[in-house]
Structure 1
Amino acid sequence: MAATAPAPVLDRPTAAQPPRTKTYRVDGISRRRMAGRTITGALIGLAFLTPYLIMLVGSLKTRAEILSVPPAYFPQDGLQFGNYATMWDTPETPLPFNLGSTIIIAVSATLLVLLVATPAAYYTARFRFPGRMVFLFLVIITQMLQPAVLTAGLFRQMLWLDLNNTWLAMILINAAFNLSFALWIMHSFFAAIPKEIDEAAQIDGAGRLRVLFTINLPLVWPGIVTAVIFTFVSAWNEFAASLVIMSTAENQPLSVALTKFIGQYSTSWQYVFGISIVAIVPVIILFAVIEKRLIGGLTAGAVK
């Protein structure tokens, strides 16, 4: 019997080795790239925070340490927390009154801007009237003017109105110079809202005011936040008009009171740094309070 050829032996399939893969987070970004972005963001944040850290450390030094050569980067005689207590009783200026004046002027000017800019932005975004674009163009042109170049005219105008050296004068001036920016910002947000939302609310029986306050305002909350932050910070830091119009030391804001510690031959740098840190705190509080409501306002009010 003829021998049969042995059947060929087939190679057994080997288990395929899984390819090497990167470790990804849920959002698809590799951990290495995420770490790089985190480090980069931390360095950028540190670069922006460095001036404030220098002011904070300087406010806790003695004047001799600040002026020492070579400079002492950290307090050598202990942290001088007493600087924050003694600066309120310095003979140069009554800081408690200056802080209260700054708060009243900045808050009142911000509220006045919102009261005027909100209905004006809604009307210009929803209605087409003759001269609308000319009006908006003239509004934005006023943003080119600053109190620093109009101080002489503002001083004479406040004298004529018998408002010189009053909080009301500075409230009106700060509101006037920030109104145009707030109007344009809020106008763009109102214009981005579909008109069908207003029409649907009106079909359900809502009037214009109700549509504005209950439907549109929640949707334009990011624009309101932007206007509030810009107006408040601008009014808080205003200097030129306050220097000319506010002649009484008790009525002057912190921005003017700060210059009293800078003399021709001597400067109390520890108090300058301390007042600067105190002036930053209300702005930080404003950001912390408003930031919580910013995201919630992006979609609130759109669903009936």
Structure 2
Amino acid sequence: MLLTALKPGEELFRTPPTLLPERWEWSNFAEVWNVAPIGDHLRVTLIVATCSTLLVLLVAAPAAYYTARNAYRGRTAFLLLVLVTQMFAPTALVIGLYRQFVALDLVNTYAALILVNAAFNLAFSTWILTAAFAAVPRDLEDAGMTDGLGRIGVLVRITIPTALPGVVTAVIFTFITTWNEFVVALTLTNSPDRQPLTVGITAFIGQYEVQWQYLFAASLVAVLPVVVLFVFIERYLVTGLTAGSFR
């Protein structure tokens, strides 16, 4: 992608093709912002990914905490049901989702993208957080309650910080999955100011021509933030995926 993004347009279809550009066209990375509204698409992606992640954490953390700390009837069935929901691909549900959001008058809105992405990532986050919270010793929570904390205070001030690797795993998984989502965004949005970057870069794919240099330059813009984020949180992610067990 990098080498193609640095080629001028006339070199892309040269025969025989060359791996390295004969002329390095660094201006492609500047021009791509003018050829398409990449800035608007990037803003939409950041808003949707951030809000979806916060919504998932807000809902999944209490559900996972209750499931980890209470051996209620149907607990195993609930956890299996949570896992089964991960088997349904968004593509299989996209027609029903579109009809539902048309009825709610939410097509081409931030709310539609945020709700759908949060719903699709809620199950996995609940599963991961349940395992992470179950690994936190009860003695720590009992000590906090002895000092006057309620259940919410214990969750926020003791359990979540102690289970930080699991929380980070849920957050990063949700954020990256939402960042990369394409099918639902393509279906539920129809204007550039509401389309995320994954949909926006398809503007370079025309009926008769593909502007490969701009397509790959925009793709690198989309990939780079996720790669940088992963570099900084990789140790938390690995720890969170391997820690914890169900009781």
Asked if Structure 1 and Structure 2 have the same fold, meaning a TM-score greater than 0.5 normalized by the shorter chain, the answer is yes
Q: Is residue 279 of structure 1 aligned with residue 225 of structure 2?
A: no
- Is the partner of 1:150 in helix, strand or coil? helix
User: Is the contact between residue 58 and residue 66 of structure 1 (CA under 8 Å) also seen in structure 2?
Assistant: yes
Residue correspondences, number: 240
User: Is the contact between residue 246 and residue 252 of structure 1 (CA under 8 Å) also seen in structure 2?
Assistant: yes
* Partners of 1:216 and 1:267 in 2: CA distance: 51
Distance change >3 Å, CA 293–CA 187, structure 1 → 2: closer
Query: Paired residue for 1:233?
Result: 176
Query: Paired residue for 2:75?
Result: 132
Query: Paired residue for 2:243?
Result: none
User: Is the contact between residue 97 and residue 250 of structure 1 (CA under 8 Å) also seen in structure 2?
Assistant: yes
Deviation at 1:74, TM superposition (A): 1.4
Distance change >3 Å, CA 211–CA 296, structure 1 → 2: farther
- Is the partner of 2:108 in helix, strand or coil? coil
> Deviations for 1:97-152, whole angstroms, at most 9, x for unmatched residues?
11111111111111111111111111110012232222222221111112111111
Residue of 245, 250, 256 corresponding to 2:188:
245
Q: Is residue 85 of structure 1 aligned with residue 30 of structure 2?
A: yes
Q: Describe how 1:78-157 pairs up with structure 2 within 5 A.
A: 79-90=24-35, 93-157=36-100
Query: Paired residue for 1:200?
Result: 143
User: Is the contact between residue 44 and residue 196 of structure 2 (CA under 8 Å) also seen in structure 1?
Assistant: yes
Q: Describe how 1:170-185 pairs up with structure 2 within 5 A.
A: 170-185=113-128
Give the alignment's Cα RMSD to 1 decimal: 2.0
Which residue type is aligned with residue 165 of structure 1?
A: N
Query: Paired residue for 1:67?
Result: 13
| Larger helix percent | 2
Deviation at 1:84, TM superposition (A): 1.3
Query: Paired residue for 2:164?
Result: 221
Q: TM-score, normalised by structure 2?
A: 0.90
Structure 1 runs of 4+ with >4 Å offset: 291-297
Distance change >3 Å, CA 280–CA 145, structure 1 → 2: same
Query: Paired residue for 1:161?
Result: 104
Q: TM-score, normalised by structure 1?
A: 0.74
Which stretches in structure 2 are left out of the alignment for 5+ residues? Answer: 241-247
* Partners of 2:93 and 2:224 in 1: CA distance: 30
- Is the partner of 2:193 in helix, strand or coil? coil
Distance change >3 Å, CA 293–CA 147, structure 1 → 2: closer
Deviation at 1:70, TM superposition (A): 2.0
- Is the partner of 2:192 in helix, strand or coil? coil
Residue of 134, 143, 146 corresponding to 1:191:
134
- Is the partner of 2:105 in helix, strand or coil? coil
User: Is the contact between residue 45 and residue 179 of structure 2 (CA under 8 Å) also seen in structure 1?
Assistant: yes
> % of aligned pairs identical?
49
Distance change >3 Å, CA 167–CA 64, structure 1 → 2: same
Q: Is residue 257 of structure 1 aligned with residue 200 of structure 2?
A: yes
* Partners of 1:110 and 1:137 in 2: CA distance: 23
User: Is the contact between residue 2 and residue 217 of structure 2 (CA under 8 Å) also seen in structure 1?
Assistant: yes
Which stretches in structure 1 are left out of the alignment for 5+ residues? Answer: 1-54, 298-304
- Is the partner of 1:241 in helix, strand or coil? helix
Answer with 124-133 or 105-114: which moved more.
Answer: 124-133
* Partners of 2:181 and 2:200 in 1: CA distance: 12
User: Is the contact between residue 221 and residue 294 of structure 1 (CA under 8 Å) also seen in structure 2?
Assistant: no
Distance change >3 Å, CA 198–CA 135, structure 1 → 2: same
